[in-house]
Amino acid sequence: MNLLLEAPLPVSRRYQPQPSPLSQVVVTKRILIADDDAAVRASLAAVLELEGFVVDEAVDGIAAVKRVVEHKYDLVLLDLNMSRWDGWTAFIQMDWVLPLLPVIVITARPDQYGHAVRLGVDAFMEKPLDISMLLEAIATLVNEASARHISRVTDRKFITRCLPMRTKEFPQ
Residue 14 lies in a domain: no
- pLDDT tens for each residue of 82-130: 999 999 999 999 999 999 999 999 999 999 999 999 999 999 999 999 9
pTM of the model: 0.79
Can you tell me the mean pLDDT for 67-71? Answer: 97
pLDDT above 80: residue 145: yes
Residue 143 lies in a domain: yes
DSSP state of 159: -
Residue 9 lies in a domain: no
Residue 171 lies in a domain: no
Residue 12 lies in a domain: no
Q: Which residues of 132-160 are buried (b: 16+ CB within 10 A; e: fewer)?
A: ebbbebbeebbebeeeeeeeeeeeeeeeb
Residue 7 lies in a domain: no
Q: Assess contact for 160 and 120: CB atoms under 8 A.
A: yes
pLDDT above 70: residue 7: no
Residue 13 lies in a domain: no
Parent domain of 64: 26-162
Residue 54 lies in a domain: yes
- Per-residue pLDDT band for 18 (boundaries 50, 70, 90) equals low
pLDDT at residue 161, as a whole number? 82
Q: What is the tally of structural domains in the chain?
A: 1
Can you tell me the mean pLDDT for 69-86? Answer: 96
pLDDT at residue 65, as a whole number? 98
- Per-residue pLDDT band for 9 (boundaries 50, 70, 90) equals very low
**CATH number of the domain encompassing residue 57:** 3.40.50.2300
Q: Assess contact for 52 and 59: CB atoms under 8 A.
A: no
